[in-house]
Amino acid sequence: MKKNYFFIVLFTQILIGCTGIPEDLKAVNNFDLNRYLGTWYEIARLDHRFERGLNNISADYTMNTNNSIKVINKGWNVTDQKWEQAEGKAYFVEQHDIGRLKVSFFGPFYGGYNIIDLDKKNYSYAMVTGPDKSYFWILSRTKQLPKAKLDALINRAKVMGFPVDKFIFVNQD
């Protein structure tokens, strides 16, 4: 019995860890989901196999009838010359006015989606991290950000401890 209990606790901790936020970072507060819904374009990211080889990456967020958020990630596969798409769902981890969500594209497995910086006036850009600093994205409502704004976001990410020298800048043509 003790052995089964151990594995249940361990499995639960692993799942919780996947939806966490890096210890020294905080998600944005006064978050307004209705303003965040819609299409976001990926400007920069850290490398991950699920996005490798993709250009023109976007994410579209809409409300489902069950109060979950429908997530559709789409990107152009340069090698195969075709669009790839993944559909998932997201839920708030904390209160609905804090930018911490958990997102799933694979059944019961969720990953952290933590909005750590956001243009609160216009909701025109966002910086997002996962449960640790190996996950990072700069998102924009437009396919490109002005150089000064992008440079400022990269500098902010560097101050937060992200490996900005490893950022991949997404071709959005």
49 vs 1 pLDDT, higher one: 49
Residue range 2-169, CATH number: 2.40.128.20
The Cα 37–Cα 96 span in angstroms is 13
Q: Which two tokens stand for residue 160?
A: 């937060």
Sole residue written with tokens 């216009």: 122
Q: Which band of pLDDT confidence, cut at 50, 70 and 90, is reported for residue 106? A: confident
Tell me the domain boundaries of the chain.
Answer: 2-169
Position 166, amino acid? K
- Residue 78 makes CB contacts below 8 A (sequence gap 6+) with 53, 54, 55
User: What pTM was computed for the model?
Assistant: 0.89
The Cα 65–Cα 164 span in angstroms is 38
Q: How big is the CA angle at 116 (ends 146 and 29), to the nearest 5 degrees?
A: 115
Tens-digit pLDDT profile for residues 10-47: 333 334 448 899 999 999 999 999 999 999 999 999 99
The Cα 101–Cα 91 span in angstroms is 5
Looking at residue 10, its pLDDT comes to 35
